[in-house]
Amino acid sequence: MSQQLADLMDRLRQEYVRQMDNNGHVEPYLTAHRVCQQMLALKPVELAQLIASDPKLLSARAGELIEDPEEMDNPSVGVIVTSNVSAAALEGLLMVAVNRQWLEVDSEDRIMVDAWELDNVPAVTSIDYSDVGGPDLQSPGGGQLSALFNAAEKVYLTQLSEAVHDAYQLALQVSSDYVIFAPDDLAPLIVENPLLLGLREDGLVDEELFESDPPAGLIISAHLTEMLLQQLLELAHEQGALALDSSGQPIFSDAEDDTPTVH
Burial-class residue 183 by CB neighbours within 10 Å (0-12, 13-18, 19+).
Answer: buried
In a domain, 229, yes or no: yes
Burial-class residue 104 by CB neighbours within 10 Å (0-12, 13-18, 19+).
Answer: exposed
Residue type, 58: L
In a domain, 254, yes or no: no
So what's the pLDDT on residue 23? 96
Under a CB-based contact definition with an 8 Å cutoff, are residues 54 and 184 in contact?
no
In a domain, 178, yes or no: yes
In a domain, 250, yes or no: no
In a domain, 219, yes or no: yes
In a domain, 128, yes or no: no
Q: Which of 92, 70, 76, 69 is nearest to 1 (CA)?
A: 92
Average pLDDT, the chain: 89
Q: Structurally, how many domains does the chain consist of?
A: 2
pLDDT digits (tens, 9 = 90+) for 148-198: 999 999 999 999 888 667 888 899 999 999 988 899 999 999 999 999 999
> Residue 58 above 60 pLDDT?
yes
| Backbone dihedral angles phi then psi of residue 205, each to the nearest 5 degrees | -115, 140
111: enclosing H helix or E strand: strand 111-112
Under a CB-based contact definition with an 8 Å cutoff, are residues 127 and 38 in contact?
no
**Last residue in a domain, options 73, 104, 119:** 119
So what's the pLDDT on residue 240? 81
Residue type, 57: L
Asked if residue 90 and residue 165 are part of one domain, the reply reads: no
Asked if residue 70 and residue 148 are part of one domain, the reply reads: no
In a domain, 256, yes or no: no
Asked if residue 154 and residue 63 are part of one domain, the reply reads: no
Which domain range does residue 212 map to? 144-239
**Last residue in a domain, options 119, 153, 168:** 119
So what's the pLDDT on residue 140? 44
> Residue 137 above 90 pLDDT?
no
Asked if residue 115 and residue 28 are part of one domain, the reply reads: yes
Asked if residue 105 and residue 16 are part of one domain, the reply reads: yes
Residue 88 Cα distances to 9, 29, 40, 132, 247, angstroms: 9, 14, 11, 26, 52
Torsion of Cα atoms, 146 then 214 then 60 then 20, to 10°: 120
Asked if residue 148 and residue 101 are part of one domain, the reply reads: no
pTM of the full predicted structure? Answer: 0.88
Q: Which of 124-133, 153-162, 182-191, 203-212 has the lowest mean pLDDT?
A: 203-212
Asked if residue 157 and residue 108 are part of one domain, the reply reads: no
Q: Distance between CA 23 and CA 97 in Å, rounded?
A: 14
Asked if residue 23 and residue 106 are part of one domain, the reply reads: yes
pLDDT confidence of 260, banded at 50, 70, 90?
A: low
In a domain, 32, yes or no: yes
